[in-house]
Chain A
Amino acid sequence: MEKNVATFERIASVLVGGLALQQTLMSNRPTSVKSVTGAAGLAFLWRGVTGSCPIYRSLNINTHKANGISMTPNLLERSALINLPPEEVASFLQTKKTPWGRFSLAIDEYHYKIDIDGRTWMLELSGHSDGNRTLIKLTWNEQDSLVPERVLEIRKLKSLMETGEIASIEGQPHGDRGPIGSFFETFGDKLLHSLQSRTALPDSKKDNETMISHESEMRREAHA
């Protein structure tokens, strides 16, 4: 099935569909109402997960193509404005261990690189005109024509630089999730991650997992 729905819309569809389904299953309205909202929920969920919309097809609309990369959250995740001057960002990158390992100097003091599972990532620093902040942009091997997944989550790097830690709710308490809640808890993140990735490069998927496990490892180390 050809994809014709933009990533942004797909995520919105999953959210809307999931919500409709959740509310249908939990509500005590008459079955006639529930079957309508339930069917709508499933349809939205399907549209989001597959990225294919029959209505769009019949109308010859294709937001998947039209939006291209500019609408995907990946791009947003590939740059960050750090609340530290470039010297401090540079010294962090040269001296501190991150969940992904250590960065090293490349080209000049405005470029740093890190190798993760055979892929080289480059961070490009530029000072903000206010003199206090630093814009960092993430690039990768030019020869990779495909855009990799959001493997190096630059936002987390930003948090680490600014606060010394990465926000987390890993393992916090909650009550009984029930079947729907557990579904969303188990697959919600995965769904989101898979929707956010523009291409399904198997090796970068692996990178993602490595990164996540690096992160929890670091957290564990910090507490030992």
Chain B
Amino acid sequence: MKALTWQGIDKVGIEQVADPKIINGSDAIIKVTSTAICGSDLHLYGGRVPTLLKGDILGHEFMGEVVETGRNVKNLKVGDKVVVPFNIACGHCYFCEKGMFSACDNSNPNPSIPLMGTGQAVSALFGYTHMCGGYAGGQAEFVRVPYADIGPLKVPSGIDDEQVLFLSDIFPTGYMAAENCEIEPGDTVAVWGAGPVGQFAARSAFMLGAGRVFVIDRFPERLELARQCGAEPINYELEDVYETLQFETGGTGPDSCIDAVGMEGHGHTIDALMDDVKAAFRIQPDRAHALRQAIRCVRKAGIVSVPGVYIGLIDKLNFGMAFNKGIKFKMGQTHTHKYMKPLLDRIMNGEIDPSVVISHRLKLDDAPAGYKMFQEKSHECTKIVMHI
């Protein structure tokens, strides 16, 4: 089959590889019909996450049709149309049973590395390094999905892929980020990053009762997309984010702040420049400017919710500020499985059209150019979908 593989720093390519096979009884093989490139893929593309090997198949946002099932699979049959969550979870361990799917105990075949990185090994992810399980990803014609009774969500066969594809990651991620803000009716929420995750976070914040939502970025087309859902855009290249947020909230600050930027944060202040230097020499991968700013802006005893991915030891973190204001942090990989069905219902009810974030539709063969474009945010690129 054809698959997109990582070939080195800032380099991906399309290769001919073997078809995936059933390995365990709970596996299913999915023929991928649509897949997307995620902001998280950019961390891999840039070679910033350790234990990715040349030749690894990327992709964790995908959906398709079931073409084969292992002998223990009961909920799926050949021909079903499914969306697959990006985390791999067993469904039976303590964490899965409590709905904390991204903390699954059993899905990572080689937990020794993450064990050292994180103290305890977290769940495996599709197409996301050997530290996260080494599973082949879904930017390919076919993909093997373990624990097929647990993860894949069956969707109506008539529905357009673009309506449901993002249930695999970014819609649940934006939603969980907003849910983590424990929004009370009329609350003010500020979202850093107007990328796909930020867009869904802003929309979800409104769904959960926020009165005002600010969205911060520097790309006009992304800010415009945020404005369309009722959010108030702040272009950080034109305005001072802290001053604007304080002014708009009477010096109180937003009730909660969402960092939907993560480790590729950009900025012009001294902390951001120091991060840039360290990242360039690959001493430290995380550029946490947005996180620091969120901590500074949030109201006293507010919440900072972090869907943006960080992986290393962030320095210059204003933790004293966080302590003295009594901030609550909520973060982590999304417990995607938990949100897929309720969010599918919201899509079916017409509460949201997830396809609004899509700016480009490509063929799998054009994915390498897509990565470059998405990394550079050129051609007003917000989200790329490949139909296979």
Q: Which residues of A pack against B, CB within 8 Å?
A: 8, 11-12, 15, 19-20, 23, 26-27, 37, 73, 76, 81, 83, 133, 155, 158-159, 162-178, 180-181, 184-185, 188-189, 192, 196, 219, 222-223
Contact = CB atoms under 8 A, between A and B. Distances in A.
B18 A173 contact: yes
B196 interface: no
B90 A159 contact: yes
Pairs A-B, 7 closest by C-beta atoms:
A175-B5, A175-B55, A175-B15, A181-B54, A26-B8, A173-B18, A167-B109
B72 A164 contact: yes
Contacts of B105: 83, 158-159, 162
Interface stretch (B129-137, B152-160, B247-255): B129-137
A184 B131 CA distance: 13
Contact of A189 (B1, B93, B110, B147): B110
- How big is chain B's contact interface, by range? 35 or more
B134 to A, nearest CB: 5
Interface stretch (B23-31, B171-179, B293-301, B369-377): B23-31
A219 B116 contact: no
Interface of B: 1, 3, 5, 7-9, 13, 15, 17-26, 47, 50-51, 53-57, 71-72, 90-94, 97, 105-113, 115-116, 124, 130, 133-136, 140, 144, 146-147, 282
A169 B109 CA distance: 7
A12 B116 contact: yes
Nearest to A172: B136
A124 B128 CA distance: 36
A121 B269 CA distance: 59
Contacts of A172: 20-21, 23, 135-136, 144
A165 B19 contact: no
Nearest to B131: A15
B9 A173 contact: no
B55 A222 contact: no
Given A15-B50, A26-B8, A185-B53, A219 B112 contact: no
A194 B197 CA distance: 41
A193 to B, nearest CB: 9
A83 B97 contact: yes
A56 B297 CA distance: 43
A169 B133 contact: yes
14 contacts: A15-B50, A15-B113, A23-B9, A23-B47, A26-B8, A167-B24, A167-B108, A173-B3, A174-B136, A175-B5, A177-B53, A181-B55, A188-B130, A219-B24
B55 A177 contact: yes
A23 B17 contact: no
Nearest to A161: B92
A23 B54 CA distance: 11
B51 to A, nearest CB: 7
A174 to B, nearest CB: 5
Given A83-B93, A159-B90, A163-B106, A181 B53 contact: yes
A165 B91 CA distance: 12
Nearest to B109: A167
A133 B94 contact: yes
Contacts of A169: 23, 109, 133-136
Contact of B109 (A15, A168, A196, A223): A168
